[in-house]
Amino acid sequence: MPATARKSPPARAERESSVDEIYERIYVAILEHRLHPGTKLGEERLADIFGVSRARIREVLARLAHEQIVELFPQRGAYVAKPTIEQARDIFEARRLIEPAVLRRLVDTHTPDKVQRLRQHVELEHDARRRNDKRAVIRLSGEFHTLLAELAGNYALSRSMRELCMLTCLTIFLYDAPTSQSCRDDEHQMIIDAVARRDAARAEEIMLEHLDHIEGSLQLDQGNGEADLESIFRD
């Protein structure tokens, strides 16, 4: 009995680590547009790909569903979320309310280290664009906004922004917004400059214009919902 007790914590840690790893890989695949809106996420196929039980896959899918990244349908299974036009508008309305609050808090808690982290991130965006690495551009563009919320130091805002940025990413793919126009790194740089000057009003103004540009780039389009899960997750 004592030996069993000693083995339990590592086993639990291994399970949690595995769930976190699978969650992150699916999350990044969606963020990088390798998994498309409407793609079916078959439990059995994913369990085979990741070498885990279907129960563990269900745990991952439930977590993604809680964050509205995945939709679960009785008798049909799990699918990558496919936001409607109305939902897309709701996403941008929420971002217009939340992101100015993020910037105000970030300006209030301004430090040189925070500004440096933002500048380093934008340099990664510049580099990805120079290399024409579209997947990295998509991922880094979304992560810029979640980084703003993280540095602002409010967990609730940070979690909300992570979910909203993922839903925005799905919307951009679904409605065929050009990556180069949808989230421009020059506007990211302008936001950082305003934060560095502690000019909250200007930072908010640029952010709202930035969100207008993203939403304005959307075009109605239909995805086919098909994807080869094995080719996505097996290198």
Q: What is the mean pLDDT of the chain?
A: 86
- Name the residue with higher pLDDT: 99 or 9: 99
Are the CB atoms for 149 and 118 separated by under 8 Å? Answer: no
Q: Residues 36, 40, 44, CA angle at the centre, nearest 5°?
A: 130
- Name the residue with higher pLDDT: 15 or 155: 155
pLDDT at 15: 54
Query: Does position 153 have pLDDT exceeding 90, yes or no?
Result: yes
Tokens representing 176 are: 């065929």
Mean pLDDT of 106-129: 95
CA distance 226 to 135: 19
CA distance 229 to 8: 32
> Given strand 70-73, what is the order of strands in its sheet?
40-41, 77-80, 70-73
Query: Does position 132 have pLDDT exceeding 70, yes or no?
Result: yes
To the nearest whole percent, how much of the chain has pLDDT over 70?
Answer: 82
- State residue 70 phi and psi, 5-degree precision: -125, 145
CA distance 95 to 91: 6
Domains of the chain: 2-82+222-233 (1.10.10.10), 85-216 (1.20.120.530)
Mean pLDDT of 81-85: 91
Query: Does position 180 have pLDDT exceeding 80, yes or no?
Result: no
For residue 161, the one-letter residue type is: M
CA distance 9 to 129: 44
Query: Does position 189 have pLDDT exceeding 50, yes or no?
Result: yes
pLDDT at 149: 96
CA distance 175 to 92: 14
Query: Does position 172 have pLDDT exceeding 70, yes or no?
Result: yes
Which residues make Cβ contacts (< 8 Å) with residue 127, sequence separation at least 6? none
- Name the residue with higher pLDDT: 223 or 214: 214
Are the CB atoms for 94 and 164 separated by under 8 Å? Answer: yes
pLDDT at 169: 87
Confidence of residue 6 (pLDDT cuts 50, 70, 90): very low
Are the CB atoms for 122 and 192 separated by under 8 Å? Answer: yes
Are the CB atoms for 138 and 33 separated by under 8 Å? Answer: yes
